[in-house]
Amino acid sequence: MQNKNRYNFVFVLFTNIGVGAGTEFAVLNYVKYLKEIDQNLKITIVQTDWMANSNNKPIYKLTDVDVITFKSPYTIKIYKFLEKISLIPHSVSLFFSILFYIILNNRKIKSISKECDVIYFVNHKDVLPWAIFNPSIRSKTVVAGHCGIFPKHMNKILFKLLNKYQFGLHYLTKIQMLKVGRYGKHDFILPIGVETDKFYPISKNDEATRFVYFGRLEKSKGILELLEAFKKYPFNDSILTIIGTGELTKIVESQKSQNIRYLGYIDRESLYREISNHDIFVFPTYGETFGTVVIEAVSSGLFCLVSDKLKGIFDDLESIGAIEYIPNTVDGILQAMIKYHGIKVPFDKKLEWHEFIRQHYDWKEISRRLYEKLIEIAELNK
């Protein structure tokens, strides 16, 4: 597809695209597929040197895309200092860190803001500082829900400062929209996509029940509860595989045994091949904005045990029998694992689940719908 107008889209990240985590990977896919849809698009990624030293590597090289990096050698020091002060909330520390980046790079911001047709903010905390210095960007702005979106106590203040109906909101789920309480003319609900050609099921006949968790190894993901539950799991013919890195890496490494495999960080190509070798994905998180890993697991043909903290997000997958919501307590996880010991999803059913994901969550379709929404907003600024 070749649009006769050359539109200019800007994606704003507070982190660095090289981090390669969920949010950064989503942006990379937006860019990749938007360029496939419209080769005439001009796309710029604005990032910072925050977390630039991550061990993860960019998922793939960006081509025909401008990348602008805001640098500030003191911002992370300021953030860490503020985090040590118990009376200052985490959100406030992060906001002032963002503000510091923006003050130091305001000339670049003014230039970027003037030239673009749409500015897509991955993190809503970035919006206010940009808008303060450049009020004219409000009609060009899309605020996305990848990092949460306008907590209730911030709604009235931020909507008033930004002018409630002058920017679009990209909700990842209907729940986000209901929490914010607004569905304006340029607001839309659109989930994160999945590479369905890569996350694909296989037919397997082994007898062992293979559980897997893949994602960040953080306390908030329920990793400690999962490990404790598996210690109490009464069957010896099952295997738990854990993939990922994070604050609990050393603890997980110490639990490796005949029945617990820890693979650490693996690249995307290895992940695609590994996931489909398992039967059940266990995701006992304490909360997610979305939880793309669940979609990836179902696309790979896995039955999923998903924390009931995510009720309402994956009800469509519950309706086709691909997931079950469970309590994310040690006993809740244990009972669910016992209940589904020996489960072998028939290959035909795996293919049905994969087709459902392809129809509703494939990256190409998600990006096409995003393109249409961004063009609507871009047309307002021509």
pLDDT tens profile 20-51: 777 888 998 999 999 999 989 999 998 877 65
Interhelix angle for 223-232 vs 330-339, to 10°? 50
pTM: 0.85
**For residues 57-79, average pLDDT:** 68
As beta bridge partners, residue 243 has 214, 264
For the chain, the distance separating the N- and C-terminal CA atoms, rounded to the nearest angstrom, is 20
| pLDDT (tens digit per residue) in 101-142 | 666 677 777 888 888 899 998 887 676 667 766 777 778 889
More confident residue, 154 or 182: 182
Own/partner contacts of 186-190, CB < 8 Å, gap of 24 or more, are: 186/142, 186/373, 186/376, 186/377, 188/369, 188/373, 190/366, 190/369, 190/370, 190/373
Are 6 and 41 a contacting pair, CB within 8 Å?
yes
Are 20 and 57 a contacting pair, CB within 8 Å?
yes
Sheet order of strands, 238-243 included: 260-264, 238-243, 209-214, 280-283, 303-307, 323-326
* Longest CA–CA separation in the chain, Å: 65
Answer yes or no: is pLDDT of 206 > 70.
yes
* Domains detected in the chain: 8-193+362-380 (3.40.50.2000), 209-361 (3.40.50.2000)
pLDDT score for 105: 72
**For residues 180-198, average pLDDT:** 90
pLDDT score for 57: 45
pLDDT score for 222: 96
Mean pLDDT (the chain) is 85
**For residues 297-321, average pLDDT:** 96
Interhelix angle for 22-37 vs 363-380, to 10°? 70
Are 238 and 162 a contacting pair, CB within 8 Å?
no
pLDDT score for 138: 74
More confident residue, 67 or 102: 67
pLDDT score for 162: 58
pLDDT score for 364: 94
Structure tokens at 28: 């990379």
Alpha carbon of residue 56 to chain centroid: 16
pLDDT score for 65: 84
Sign of CA dihedral 59, 65, 71, 75: negative
Are 101 and 72 a contacting pair, CB within 8 Å?
yes
* Structure confidence at residue 179 as a pLDDT band (50, 70, 90): confident
Answer yes or no: is pLDDT of 60 > 60.
no
